[in-house]
Amino acid sequence: MHAEIITIGDEILIGQIVDTNSAWMAQQLNNAGIRVKQISSVSDDKQHILTALAEAANRADIIFITGGLGPTKDDITKNTLAEYFGAEMVENKEALNNVTRLFEKYKRPLLEVNRLQAQVPQNCEVILNKNGTAPGMWFNSNGKIYVSMPGVPFEMMYMMEEEVIPKIKSLFKLPVIIHKTILTVGEGESFLSERIADIEDSLPAHIKLAYLPKLGQVRLRLSGYGEDEVIVSKEVNKYASKIIERVSEFVAAEEDVPLEKAILNYMTERRLTLSVAESCTGGYISHLFTQHAGSSKVFFGGAISYSYELKESILGVKNETLWQFGAVSEETVTEMVEGALLNFKSDYAIAVTGIAGPDGGLPGKPVGTVWIAVASARKTVAKKFTFGSKRQQNIERSATGALSMLNTLLKDVEK
């Protein structure tokens, strides 16, 4: 079964928002065995939406549409769908009850524009929106299914998880797609490829291998297609094992998890704890860890010491060290990481201090200069990096560098 996703909204086409909905939906659909052929973002323009619907219907069996269902004048998806299907608009009782309920809950008067949200094309089945006023819509037309949902992420997510995917599963026997991802750290794409060339050449046609590089990490993803979950899984796992064995020194995780999650899993299993002292990464490393459920078992917290004063008062970095060597130096980062270990009483610590830019470069320390240290009670490692001039990239690369160093230290100390 092939799907397409159409996201509607000028805000995507002018780059004001990043379309995160599509990636999430694609993930859910793949897990359910539905292959996404194409994702298209189109403007709030009737003719353009009509064309996109027709093109998608040529390629896919089921078309998911998000966006353009709000109460305001720029939201034209619903009327355009009615035109596409040649259907009348009717008021839907359940949808109206839902709108009324939400406005009562928040003690707001029900405006005419909100009441209009309960109008839907008569050929649709309404999908209840527990978290908002715009109803979702399910259409069945000429052997194709069309599902229209709001663009607000948590409204769409609820509908997909609770209503749409279960409904699809109840209606169709879906084929199996199995993905297996291996996270590698510290080796480039082309070298990995060279190392596993013979394994890659031996893959059967229904198993594909993809390389997904990102800032010092490369994900190797095997995708197997078939009818029987057990057989496809077994085949995919067989090739995955061969690859893992071949490049084992670079493998950080044997599943599709971010590096920090692989570290959390490893540390949770061994009941190890972590704290941080972040300067130029400004909370980003902490955020990477704490976005994951269960991180509080490992992650104690730490300091974001943007100023000299906080480096001294929270981390105990010596005033002389800061003035003699500067905030961005091996001496400071070492005192930061050891201060974190001591003050926050964790088994491991990370410290980062650098010049994220775009301003703030110093003689001998250009923008992009970053010192990173990781430590346990037994060992401290500090390393200097020279990144580029882009702030966001310097923050991300510093985080990846820190995670990669911690990963190495963990494997080194704990083995």
Answer yes or no whether residue 71 interacts with a second copy by CB under 8 A.
yes
User: Considering only 137-145, 227-235, 290-298, 373-381, which stretch makes contact with a second copy by CB under 8 A?
Assistant: 290-298
Torsion sign across C-alpha atoms 140, 141, 145, 151: negative
Please count the residues of this chain forming the interface with a second copy, following the rule CB under 8 A.
113
Answer yes or no whether residue 37 interacts with a second copy by CB under 8 A.
yes
Answer yes or no whether residue 284 interacts with a second copy by CB under 8 A.
yes
User: Considering only 137-145, 246-254, 306-314, 328-336, which stretch makes contact with a second copy by CB under 8 A?
Assistant: 306-314
- Decide whether 35 or 46 has the Cβ nearer to a second copy: 35
CA–CA gap between residue 39 and residue 33 (Å, rounded): 17
Contact positions with a second copy (CB under 8 A) in 154-213: 154, 157, 179, 181, 188-191, 193-194, 200, 208-213
Specify the amino acid at residue 7: T
Answer yes or no whether residue 83 interacts with a second copy by CB under 8 A.
no
Answer yes or no whether residue 319 interacts with a second copy by CB under 8 A.
no
User: Considering only 78-86, 118-126, 369-377, 392-400, which stretch makes contact with a second copy by CB under 8 A?
Assistant: 392-400
Runs of H (alpha helix) within 247-295:
259-269, 284-290
Answer yes or no whether residue 144 interacts with a second copy by CB under 8 A.
no
DSSP string of 91-147?
E-HHHHHHHHHHHHHTT----HHHHGGGEEETTPEEEP-TTSSSPEEEEEETTEEEE
**E strand or H helix at 309, and its extent?**
helix 308-313
Task: Write the burial class of residue 267 (CB in 10 Å: 0-12 exposed, 13-18 middle, 19+ buried).
Answer: buried
Contact positions with a second copy (CB under 8 A) in 209-268: 209-214, 219, 221, 223, 256
Answer yes or no whether residue 347 interacts with a second copy by CB under 8 A.
no
Cα separations (Å) of 94 from 91, 113, 124, 126, 134?
A: 9, 17, 13, 8, 12
Shortest Cβ distance from residue 147 to a second copy (Å)? 17
Answer yes or no whether residue 384 interacts with a second copy by CB under 8 A.
no
Answer yes or no whether residue 276 interacts with a second copy by CB under 8 A.
yes
Question: Quick one: angle between helices 46-59 and 77-85, nearest 10?
Answer: 60
Are 8 and 49 within 8 A, CB to CB?
Answer: yes
> Binder to a second copy among 100, 141, 233, 393 (CB under 8 A)?
393
> Binder to a second copy among 32, 44, 156, 375 (CB under 8 A)?
44
User: Considering only 69-77, 162-170, 237-245, 373-381, which stretch makes contact with a second copy by CB under 8 A?
Assistant: 69-77
CA–CA gap between residue 382 and residue 380 (Å, rounded): 7
Q: Which two tokens stand for residue 90?
A: 């009717």
Are 395 and 356 within 8 A, CB to CB?
Answer: yes
> Binder to a second copy among 122, 234, 241, 294 (CB under 8 A)?
294
User: Considering only 85-93, 105-113, 138-146, 330-338, which stretch makes contact with a second copy by CB under 8 A?
Assistant: 105-113
Q: What is the 3-state secondary structure (H, E, C) of 146-196?
A: EEEECCCHHHHHHHHHHHHHHHHHHHCCCCEEEEEEEEEECCCHHHHHHHC
> Binder to a second copy among 357, 369, 372, 400 (CB under 8 A)?
357
Chain centre to alpha carbon of residue 16: 18
- Decide whether 106 or 415 has the Cβ nearer to a second copy: 106
Answer yes or no whether residue 104 interacts with a second copy by CB under 8 A.
no
Answer yes or no whether residue 295 interacts with a second copy by CB under 8 A.
yes
Buried b (16+ CB within 10 A) or exposed e, 340-360: bbebbebbbbbbbbbbbbeee
Shortest Cβ distance from residue 415 to a second copy (Å)? 27
> Binder to a second copy among 287, 319, 386, 414 (CB under 8 A)?
287
Contact positions with a second copy (CB under 8 A) in 107-126: 108, 111, 113-114
Answer yes or no whether residue 42 interacts with a second copy by CB under 8 A.
yes
> Binder to a second copy among 53, 304, 403, 409 (CB under 8 A)?
304
Answer yes or no whether residue 66 interacts with a second copy by CB under 8 A.
no
